[in-house]
Amino acid sequence: MSEHERMLAQLGEMLAKVARPYRPDDIDLPSDVRASLCQLGFPCSELTSREELIARLWARKRSLLGVMQPEWGGPGVTPPTAA
């Protein structure tokens, strides 16, 4: 597994943890999730909103997917899908 693939997997796991349904009175992320986010380069505190983190995680994931997507080879090859 390449470094890009590993990072995509980690981002997917974090998105699943951050974007999962939660109770309205449970707005803080667990400390282990915040620590994992910091290790991935997403520093956050108790005041950082889930919406902001989700947007930042998706932005990083989109940029990695763009780097990994092969170039279109011309006629006869299916072009990449639009992001």
Cβ(11)–Cβ(40) below 8 Å: yes
Residues 6+ apart with CB under 8 A from 23: none
The confidence score (pLDDT) of residue 39 equals 93
Is the model more confident about 70 or about 15? 15
Residue ranges with strand state E in 2-79: none
Between CA 75 and CA 13 the distance in angstroms is: 36
Residue 6 half-sphere exposure, CB side, CA atoms within 13 Å? 4
User: What domain range is 40 assigned to?
Assistant: 3-68
Q: Is the pTM value of this prediction over 0.75?
A: no
38 domain-assigned: yes
76 domain-assigned: no
Local confidence band at 4 (pLDDT 50, 70, 90 cut-offs): confident
Number of domains composing the chain: 1
Local confidence band at 56 (pLDDT 50, 70, 90 cut-offs): very high
Is the model more confident about 83 or about 56? 56
Between CA 47 and CA 59 the distance in angstroms is: 20
